[in-house]
A and B are shown apart, each in its own frame.
Chain A
């Protein structure tokens, strides 16, 4: 396959960036999108040019490191797919592809397509944990958990923190991420002691990081590679309201 790539190039966090066009050929339809970028980078290096920086780690759809706005959609046009799991056969020969970094003031560009997502880490530090006694690991099934609750918590726990929800949102809101983390713990008995404090603190941190507010447009749910439901946002709103009205 032969492709034309319009890629955002930016030397450093504070440098001016711009879109630059590249032609790549001999791309196999079986390559992943990241492998296609690897090929581009090898050729750039052979020519003595600076390679394109982009984030990646596991390349199997579980770590959340890969990002990229591909033709105006986070992780590209396929639903429920991370960029590392997106294959070039989903594109056609001769296609023009626009590749941009996540755009949000809370996700500053580090270089080219790589952004700093540590704002998410700071939100998790505020409440993405439970309190547990140290010592021996407790019995796996000592605490009975209804199957329904376990399923909902598990669905929320599927969040890999990639930031696609922020990237796609017209307000750069982190609500789906925050809601997934809050639901993941809040649906389980182990997460109850901090349940209300957790939502207040995590939302406060998301606000402080400069993420936007939720307009309930639901593009986040559609862009999420793990298909996390906006139901979790409703639950977050509910818990938040209850915590502010009745909490200490």
Chain B
């Protein structure tokens, strides 16, 4: 047990496995978070009820948050451990060095990872703690069951109507995509999965996954800025004119 643990936290291969496991854990969170976010397209009732149901989880929510935090800590710890070792392994660099087949994404994992980290901090301050754009944070919404809850829908729509915020999110998500495009395929290799039978599939897995995730996340700010997702006033307006439409049809 002692040797196993000593090896787990010292061996470059094992630290890499910790990095891959924690990375996949964070990817799991990314998928869950995305599923929730896409409820924006279902309108204020859907997303706000979802937000309330998360808060209703109480201690379970904190357990989940703790798990994600643990994944992040493990991932960043392993990135630091390996990064230190890797830098020490080449104290004097080359005057000329050309990558042969290493992609730019695979060579800039630390950079894209740190950007994602900075983004996560910003994003929490923005939409979890309401420290950024606080004017949109404390709006209320009355659910169909009469409960008054936090208006996530408006917070997001008002937030992204500011093009600076949309642009920032686009940039950060793009860097997340860079990270993911190498990460997922790389994690498979780290787990020892690489066989001519499916290596082509694995090579494409990371980049395809990255494109899909980034596009799905960005669909929200982009829909706000292009007016596909509107805030409350607009929605009531369209809803009313729709009712008008139905009435007109019925009259005919």
Contact = CB atoms under 8 A, between A and B. Distances in A.
Interface of A: 6, 8, 19, 69, 71-73, 98, 100, 103-106, 168, 170-173, 200, 203-204, 206-207, 210-219, 221-223, 230-231, 233-241, 244
B89 A230 contact: no
17 contacts: A72-B98, A98-B95, A168-B100, A173-B89, A207-B11, A210-B89, A214-B16, A219-B102, A222-B101, A231-B194, A234-B193, A234-B194, A236-B192, A237-B13, A237-B17, A237-B192, A241-B13
Chain B contact residues (Cβ within 8 angstroms of A): what range?
35 or more
Interface stretch (B2-10, B210-218, B220-228): B2-10
Nearest to B109: A215
A216 B8 CA distance: 19
Nearest to B17: A241
Contacts, number: 143
A165 to B, nearest CB: 11
A236 B107 CA distance: 22
A97 B98 CA distance: 13
Interface of A is mostly: mixed
B214 to A, nearest CB: 21
Contacts of A239: 192
Interface stretch (B53-61, B80-88, B129-137): B80-88
B116 interface: no
B94 A217 contact: no
Interface of B: 4, 7-8, 10-17, 82, 85-86, 88-103, 106-107, 109, 182, 185-186, 189-196, 199
A69 B191 contact: no
A212 B89 contact: yes
Contact of B96 (A98, A106, A223): A98
B101 A105 contact: no
Contact of A213 (B4, B12, B102, B193): B12
Closest 4 A-B residue pairs measured CB to CB?
A238-B192, A234-B194, A217-B102, A212-B89
